[in-house]
Amino acid sequence: MTRRLKAPQRRARRAARLKLEGGERDFDLFAVAARSAGEPGMPARPWPGNDLAFLTAVLEAHHVPVQLVKRLVAAASQLPLCSLLMDRLSAALADQIRFSSFDEVLRLPVLMLVGPPGAGKTTLAAKLAARMGERRALLVSTDIFRPGGIAQLEEYARALGLPVAVATNAEALARLIAGAAGRGVLIDTAGIAPGDDDARDRLAGFIAASGTAPLLVLPADSAAEEAAAMARFFVALGARSLMPTRLDLVHRLGGMLAAADAGRLELPAAGVTPHFAYGVRQLTPQMVARRLLAGALHNARSQLPAA
């Protein structure tokens, strides 16, 4: 009997001692809610007051992959504490993500756009042609299987006053490029996805015939994990740059950053409006940093005070 009471007696004495020392606190519902914040049905966490913790929270709100968040925050921590938050994030992006010149992309003699179905390659091809100007671009489509694929490009070309050619195979594409007569060649390809081996092999033939590294086109609203997988798939086919589309329609940039990081892809520009004349904009670390910080204003935590 005495042996059974030893443990309860110890617990009772410990509880009494804590109470006397003032170490036992009353139940705090707000603290419990804060620990559970972010779970379904629970309140959002407030933004942290510390710079680096705040940057971490901002990047997490954009669904940036965890390891990339850690690297970006570590890079931001290298700047002096007196640096502006915007400058610290811009420097971190420049350190971890590759940015390149959009003007240099436009000067390439051949541009081939590749990506999954529905990424916006055809519209982007027309926007790039508009930036090059009349009589400087030749639009070429290899998308002969999708209903209306060539018709869409022809509609854009009529609006721009540009010619359109169709390449049914790699040999035909090589002949069109050779006969471009000084025009920049913009090649719109059929959308493919991982797992379609026949489409991949066909695209690989077109890429070889083009003599250029393809430009990967992905929607900016792609989920981070999916975008990273797409980047790795197209990098294996030779992609070296990424041009996101529909950037004007998204608040979260995690997919774009995940793809660029996973494939070590350069970011020259992004599609930002449906308008041809100014539908593509140069991407810079500063511009992306502004978008990341501004995106935080659309988060529910923006209605709460800093922690």
The mean-pLDDT minimum among 50-54, 94-98, 166-170, 221-225 falls in 50-54
Contact 227, 154 (CB under 8 A): no
Q: Is the dihedral of CA 52, 227, 166, 238 positive or negative?
A: positive
E strand or H helix at 71: helix 66-76
Top mean pLDDT of 78-82, 143-147, 153-157, 216-220 is at: 216-220
Mean pLDDT of 101-125: 94
Mean pLDDT of 289-298: 87
- Structure tokens given for 161: 């006053």
pLDDT digits 0-9 by tens, 24-47:
455 555 555 455 555 566 556 677
The mean-pLDDT minimum among 41-45, 52-56, 64-68, 240-244 falls in 41-45
CATH 3.40.720.10 for the 99-295 domain, yes or no:
no
Dmax over CA atoms of the chain, in Å, equals: 102
Rounded Cα distance, 207 and 192, in Å: 14
Q: Quote helix, strand, coil % in the chain, to nearest 5.
A: 50, 10, 35
Supply the DSSP symbol for 215: E
pLDDT tops 50 at residue 1: no
In the chain, where the domains are located: 99-295
What was the pLDDT predicted at 67? Answer: 97
How far does CA 242 lie from the centroid of its chain?
A: 9
What was the pLDDT predicted at 201? Answer: 96
Count other Cβ atoms within 10 Å, centred on residue 109: 12
CA distances from 178 to 37, 153, 157, 275 (A): 61, 21, 21, 31
- DSSP lists the bridge partners of residue 99 as 267
Model confidence band, residue 68 (pLDDT cutoffs 50, 70, 90): very high
Model confidence band, residue 305 (pLDDT cutoffs 50, 70, 90): low
